[in-house]
Chains A and B, each alone.
Chain A
Amino acid sequence: MSLAYYPGCSLRHSSAELDVSTRKVLAALGVEYKEVPDWTCCGSTPAHMMDHLLAQALAARNLRQAAEVGDELLAPCPSCYQREKNAELEIHKSDAFRAEVNEVLDKPYAGQVKVYALPEYLIKFVGEEKVASLVVTDLSQLKVVPYYGCLLGRPSELTGECDNEQPMMMDLLLQAAGVDVKWWNYKTECCGASVGMPKMEIQRRLSGKILEQALSAGAEAVVVCCPLCHVNLDLKQAQINSFLGTDYRVPILYLPQVLGLAFGMSADDVMLSKNIIDPEPLVKKAIAEAATIRAEEERKAAEKAAKAAAREAKAATAEPAASTEAAVTVEAASTAGAAATGATQAPDAEVQP
């Protein structure tokens, strides 16, 4: 059974970096997939605000197309995921509703396709161990907060998350990738969604609050999965600043971009250049800091090893002399260096290499 991949409209152009990095991360993790043949728009925001049957039928058309590939559908865009998942649940539950939907489709949908979001799929079918085993780049100094938005966390019965207010799947994946994940309370606050277009004030205020909370949690970047959240936080960050009088410059990364970087992919591989607030300096700084810290730790470890070796050597030379000459001063020992004879008295004394 193979996995069907539904990119959705946003991933073709405005969030090409999410599409490309997702495909590369899936390949690195050994997940095989095939794109849904002739997929169309899931209906997104407006369809379910206009008519219920319209929304479910548009989504069902894609489920039908996905059934040609297999019984599992991965939709990296959380908005597509919610629409497709909603249709899946209602259609699979009721044959009467399936018939109603099929009435407006050109060809009926008869399958049993199950829909997954990206973090959900990775947690359930790949696992944190596998993610951790592929890490080659140290991102321990990359301080981030995972931002789930509305669609990955709510309702938890649908998304499979542990809690409506504190979902964990992105946290777990980022931790597995070795990233410094900060705890915060804005994981599932709304960014303003598409209402930002007709009523921009909603988007400016809500997204501004998220950036403020991310910074005060100690994060330097926000990790998202949703292209619309990305637009509101990244592309519109300048507009937020001019509306609120702030001067935020917070890079907004996609989850698979971070995973790809941890797996050793380059900035070009995960298309960091497509992000509006350039995340590259931050990523470079974090990697360099991690390298400095690692070098420092290595230096300390080498020092410790040298000390231990010196002690052993001293102990070896001191053994025969121990019975005769016990009262050798500490000064004499330190000036004499590693080869001092009376070091038995002070086994913890600092020895300069």
Chain B
Amino acid sequence: MIRYDATQAAFYREKLIKRVEADTRDCYQCGNCSAGCPAAFTFDYTPNQVMRMLQVGLVDKVLDSTAVQLCVQCLTCTARCPREIDIAGIFEDLKTIATAQEREVPEYAKTFNKAFMGAVARFGRLPELYMMGMFYLGTMKPKMAMGDAGLAIPMVTKGKMKLIPRKAKGADEVSRIYTKTIEKAKAREKAEVAGLEKATAEAAKAAEAAKAAAAAGKSAAAHGVSAPTAESEVAE
């Protein structure tokens, strides 16, 4: 059984309209995004499935999906959407929401982002070898590192990689930008999630009341199309 959640759906719909200027309700499930997506073969949910899940409020599942984290941001879906929905923008925003909520996302996405941004915040400019080292340390998977270790040899012999990173002049400002913006995002997300939880609790209460009313024999009106805040259950 899949539990649809109208409160979550409405909440994230508003949020995405505000942040990406994209309305999940515009999607009519043509599947063009999934047909063109080059990375969808590795996703747990295809892009059009993600759009449907957002419409019905399965946001937690989406935020923890591999689909969101493995999206390569090539923008093919956005370019081909007949409803002109910025699907890649939605995926990008979901990644940032997952970051702000400090979720443990799959596919080492967090490890990669942290290794990369950490290196940039420390040196101002990206030290590639250092970043790769930090990433593979973060994954704790020596096998993965071995797969790419062979790449380092031509890179070093061809003079394409510096072994010792140096700090660029603007590095301190970059570091401050990184800390300030991430802290701000976390605080904002915390407040918003608290608001959402409150709304969900209220909706549950309203649903309970409606159920009680229905049980009291006050007709079926409270059951079906009662209110967008009510939680409805749909059997799969």
Contacts and interface: CB of A to CB of B under 8 A. Distances in A.
Interface of A: 9-10, 12-16, 38-41, 43-54, 57-58, 61, 65, 104-106, 150, 154-156, 164-165, 188-190, 192-195, 197-202, 205-206, 235-236, 238-239, 273-274, 276
B19 interface: yes
A201 B39 CA distance: 10
A49 B181 contact: no
B170 A43 contact: no
Given A190-B39, A273-B158, 13 more contacts: A38-B170, A44-B116, A46-B117, A51-B185, A54-B182, A61-B170, A65-B170, A104-B177, A150-B72, A164-B80, A194-B112, A274-B158, A276-B158
Given A48-B92, A50-B113, A198 B158 contact: no
Interface residues of B, number: 62
A260 B132 CA distance: 32
Contact of A41 (B99, B100, B120, B155): B120
B204 to A, nearest CB: 31
Nearest to A62: B170
B72 A9 contact: no
A198 B108 contact: yes
Contact of A38 (B132, B169, B185): B169
B177 A41 contact: no
Contacts of B76: 150, 154, 188, 190
B177 A61 contact: yes
B116 A46 contact: yes
Interface of B: 19, 38-39, 41-42, 70, 72-76, 78-80, 92-93, 95-96, 99-100, 107-109, 111-113, 116-117, 120, 124-126, 128, 132, 135, 139, 144, 147-148, 150-151, 154-155, 158-162, 168-171, 173-174, 176-178, 180-182, 184-185
B95 A41 contact: no
A198 B174 CA distance: 25
Contacts of B181: 51, 53-54, 57, 104
Nearest to A198: B108
Contacts of A41: 120, 124-126, 174
A155 B154 contact: no
19 contacts: A16-B159, A38-B169, A46-B113, A46-B116, A48-B96, A49-B73, A50-B95, A51-B96, A54-B185, A61-B173, A61-B174, A165-B79, A189-B38, A193-B73, A195-B39, A198-B107, A198-B111, A198-B112, A206-B39
Contacts of B185: 51, 53-54
Contact of B79 (A10, A12, A155, A200): A155
A54 to B, nearest CB: 4
Contact of A44 (B96, B126, B148, B174): B126
Nearest to B178: A54
A51 B74 contact: no
Contacts of A165: 79
A18 to B, nearest CB: 11
A155 B38 CA distance: 16
A266 B42 CA distance: 43
A40 B174 CA distance: 8
Contacts of A12: 125, 162
Nearest to A150: B74
Contacts of B39: 190, 192, 195, 202, 206
B162 A235 contact: no
Contacts of B178: 54
Given A154-B78, A235-B155, A51 B182 contact: yes
Contacts of B19: 52
B101 to A, nearest CB: 12
A236 B108 CA distance: 20
B157 to A, nearest CB: 10
Contacts of A54: 117, 177-178, 181-182, 185
A61 B169 CA distance: 12
Given A41-B126, A235-B151, A57 B112 contact: no
Nearest to A275: B158
Given A49-B99, A61-B174, A164-B79, A197 B112 contact: yes
Contact of A43 (B70, B120, B158, B161): B120
B38 A190 contact: yes
Contact of A155 (B78, B100, B116, B180): B78
A67 to B, nearest CB: 14
Contacts of B144: 200
Contacts of B168: 38-40
B126 to A, nearest CB: 4
A199 B107 contact: yes
Nearest to B175: A40
Contacts of A190: 38-39, 72, 74, 76
B70 A52 contact: no
A103 to B, nearest CB: 8
A45 B79 CA distance: 19
B177 A58 contact: yes
B116 to A, nearest CB: 4
B170 A236 contact: no
A297 to B, nearest CB: 39
Contacts of A52: 19, 93, 96
